[in-house]
Structure formats: C-alpha cells, structure tokens
Amino acid sequence: MMSYERLWATMKERGVTQYALIKRHHVSPSQITRMKRNESVSTHTIEMFCRILDCRVEDIMEYVKDDE
C-alpha cells in the first residue's frame, strides 16, 4: 500500500496548506481526499505535488507492506 503520510509533513514543513493547494495551485479537492485515504492517484498528481512543494517523490509517499 502507498502511504502519503510524508506529504502532510512536507506540506507543514513548507508552510503549504490544503486551502492553498486548492485555491492557489488549483489542486482538485478530490485528489487531496484520495491522498488522505491513502488511495491510488496518478503519477501526474504526484509530479504536480513535487513541483508545488519543490520536493522529491520520497518526500510525498512511501510503500508500506500490507499485513496479510
């Protein structure tokens, strides 16, 4: 499973709010919701967040092994 916990830490570190993502950077609220739920998003979305936050993919997401 992909975890986006690192995204929220990176946003806080950079001083970027969810409101700013939506209003200033035109990020879809549904994309933010999908990431909050650790649901799948496109590589385009990941690239967009990297560009906005000026960070690497590893600063946004990580793979977490499912306990099966």
All domains of the chain, ordered by start, with CATH?
A: 2-56 (1.10.260)
Q: Which stretches within the chain are classed as H helix?
A: 5-14, 18-23, 29-36, 43-53
Instruction: With cut-offs at 50, 70 and 90, classify the pLDDT of residue 64.
Output: very high
* Residue 67: predicted pLDDT: 75
pTM: 0.87
User: If we measure between CA atoms, which residue out of 6, 20, 9, 4 comes closest to residue 52?
Assistant: 20
pLDDT tens track for 10-45: 999 999 999 999 999 999 999 999 999 999 999 999
Q: What are phi and psi of 42, to 5 degrees?
A: -75, 160
* Residue 17: predicted pLDDT: 97
Contact criterion met (CB below 8 Å) for 61 and 4: yes
